Amino acid sequence: MDKCCVFVDGENLRYSIVDLFQGKFHRAEYLPKKADWTALFDWLVGKLGPEAKRLRTYWYAIEHIDFTPYFPLPKEEAKLKRIFSRHKPYRDELDGLDPSRLTKKLAEMALECERNANRMKSRFDGWRRVQDGIAQAHKAVEFRRAGAILYDLFTEQLGREKAVDVKLATDLIVLRGIYDIALIISGDQDYVPAVQVVKDSGKTVINVAFEGRNGRLLPGGARRLNQVTDSALTIKYEELKHYLKI
């Protein structure tokens, strides 16, 4: 029996799903609600051969949200004006205001940022509830949280996640004693050094690549990762759609 662990870069998988199923799945839903994750991961491992058995799926997700500007905001008007002036649309609104109007406008801007922060906190809490539900409902799926993602309170845009890839790479190495095959669901070339270490330990490492409806692989850093892994497992559009139940 070939013992296999699946390592899932959660945000990478989520963005792949959004890219693949545009119009059928909205980013705001976070993950497909009816997906059969147990069947998907078991099917992926089954494609490696009849001797392959999935021990566990480690799914890596964000632990915190970091806000920019830092939240909660200061109360002092001078500090607030310096912070809001970093954002050009706000700076243009503040320029030339008399003291009374400036005070009112700063308060309005602070309230808008607070609302944006609360909306994002609520959204993030929803992500965690979905993750907890998946872990409870599906066999041998464990969420491992680490790091943070940046959220801009001015533009209401999410930035790049930090430290999640480090956690996955660390576990890939630390846990190599329990598996024979590591299956990585990611297109991130940051995992290349960890993959090299695991291969030097005599383990097999396989990367999963997703194929679009047009037959082309999703773009990203997967090319470099595919070069260093032992092989790549290509998942066709209709195959993934079947298990995600989109």
Q: What is the pLDDT of residue 217?
A: 75
Query: How far is residue 68's CA from residue 47's CA, in Å, rounded to a whole number?
Result: 44
| Contacts by residues 108-115 (CB-CB < 8 Å, ≥ 24 positions apart) | 109/80, 109/84, 110/73, 110/80, 113/69, 113/71, 113/73, 113/153, 113/154, 114/71, 114/72, 114/73
Q: What is the pLDDT of residue 127?
A: 94
Q: What b/e sequence results for 40-78 when a residue is b if at least 16 CB atoms lie within 10 Å of its CB, and e otherwise?
A: bbbebbeebeeebebbbbbbbbbbebebebebebeeeee
Q: What is the pLDDT of residue 220?
A: 54
Please calculate the CA angle 10-11-13 and round it to the nearest 5 degrees. 65
Contact in structure between 171 and 144 (CB atoms under 8 Å): yes
The neighbouring-strand residues paired with 52 are 2
How would you write the pLDDT of the chain (246 residues) with one tens digit per residue?
A: 999 999 999 988 998 898 899 877 776 788 999 999 999 999 999 999 999 999 999 999 999 999 999 989 999 999 999 999 999 999 999 998 999 999 999 999 999 999 999 999 999 999 999 999 999 999 999 999 999 999 999 999 998 888 899 999 999 999 999 999 999 998 778 899 999 999 999 999 999 988 888 877 776 546 677 788 999 898 999 999 999 998
Contact in structure between 66 and 148 (CB atoms under 8 Å): yes
